[in-house]
Amino acid sequence: MLEKLKDIEKRFEQLSQQMADPGVVSDRERYTQLAREFSELEEIVKKIREYEKVLEHLKESRTILQEATDEDLKELALEELSDLEQKQEQIEKEIQRLLVPPDPNDNKNTIVEIRAGSGGDEAGIFAGDLYKMYLKYCERNRWKVELLSLSGAEKGGYKEIIFSIKGKGAYGRLKYESGVHRVQRVPETESQGRIHTSAASVAVLPEAEDVEVRIDPNDLRIDVFRASGHGGQHVNTTDSAVRIVHLPTGLTVSCQDEKSQLKNKAKAMKVLKARLYDLELRKQQEQLSSQRRGMIRSGDRSEKIRTYNYPQGRVTDHRINLTLYRLEEIMQGDLDMIIDALRIAEQAERLNESQALTSNE
């Protein structure tokens, strides 16, 4: 373990030197990559240096204990030794946790897509409720939200909502939201007070950078058409709406919320890049063995991940069997109580995998 820690510390020093090189500073792409890796290693290097100091003090205390003739001094050294051994054990656990490879996408901005599923008008209304929940969560974290596409439905609901979120750790926190969200409640349209079950799907995509996704213009078919408002009203007289089809994959993105055709095209391209990047990530995940693909981060968007039961005021996350009777707070954007539990569960899973791999090497 010490040898591995020394290698990490050595790499951290190399990165520090490289980032100070004027030639690297002038290369924006290279500098950004190095700065990202430097940031990822910074926390564990601080912990490694703290660990090294503890080991040094342990060595000194053991030497004093062996060589001292004064009983009081021996007793002090023994007390210090006990404290230091406890600290050593604690730091080793923290280092093991930090040694679990982080998801390189965690600090990226993200694109969230919400679509109404089964349940008719109520599904569209629930999709809108989820959107409001995420907006409130973004406000709590001071993340910037930009609406990319909105498709209205009857009864004030939505068929589809696509928006981007900019802010540190946005994808790392929200990636656990991908999947089918189910709601159980009495709809406003239900005259007999019967509980109705409906669903909406959520897809959380890491926003792709230009260096990560390169699209051949020849692979695109771009159509322009006249935009229309929700329900068909407010029809534009100019061809400002844009539809982009990625021919190799068949992925289609439409955007009509801006009056400018150029702005709609830019938004549609942002969504397309995120979808292509996510498609590649999902292919890589499929190549992993089933033993190393946990449910928490499977990314299966057809999987029912959570139920919101209004009559009981209950929210249940089915991946970790977590049930909270705090539905109102959660719908007001207090999602950390769920996300933190999912992060801990994933971290434990990844730590177990890491330890299993190390023991097999």
Q: What is the pLDDT of residue 294?
A: 45
Measured CA to CA, the distance from residue 244 to residue 224 in angstroms comes to: 9
Q: What is the pLDDT of residue 229?
A: 57
158 contacts 152 by C-beta, under 8 angstroms: yes
Domains of the chain: 2-99 (1.20.58), 110-211+294-350 (3.30.70.1660), 225-283 (3.30.160.20)
Measured CA to CA, the distance from residue 112 to residue 134 in angstroms comes to: 9
Write out the chain's pLDDT in tens, 361 residues: 677 788 888 889 999 999 999 998 899 889 988 998 888 788 889 999 999 999 999 999 888 888 888 888 888 888 899 899 999 989 988 887 777 667 778 888 999 999 999 888 999 999 999 999 999 999 999 999 999 989 887 778 899 999 999 998 899 999 999 999 999 999 876 667 789 999 999 999 988 765 567 788 888 899 888 776 554 444 455 678 899 999 999 899 988 888 888 888 888 888 998 888 888 877 766 654 443 344 444 445 567 999 999 999 999 999 999 999 999 999 999 999 999 888 878 877 766 665 554 445 4
Measured CA to CA, the distance from residue 205 to residue 277 in angstroms comes to: 8
Q: What is the pLDDT of residue 210?
A: 57
How many CB atoms sit inside 10 A of residue 293's CB?
14
Predicted TM-score (pTM) of the model is 0.63
Measured CA to CA, the distance from residue 292 to residue 298 in angstroms comes to: 10
Q: What is the pLDDT of residue 123?
A: 93
C-alpha pair distances (Å), 320 with each of 5, 271, 341: 32, 30, 8
Q: What is the pLDDT of residue 103?
A: 78
Q: What is the pLDDT of residue 313?
A: 96
> Sign of the CA dihedral 32, 33, 34, 36?
positive
Query: Could you tell me which of 207, 248, 250 has the C-alpha nearest to residue 113?
Result: 207
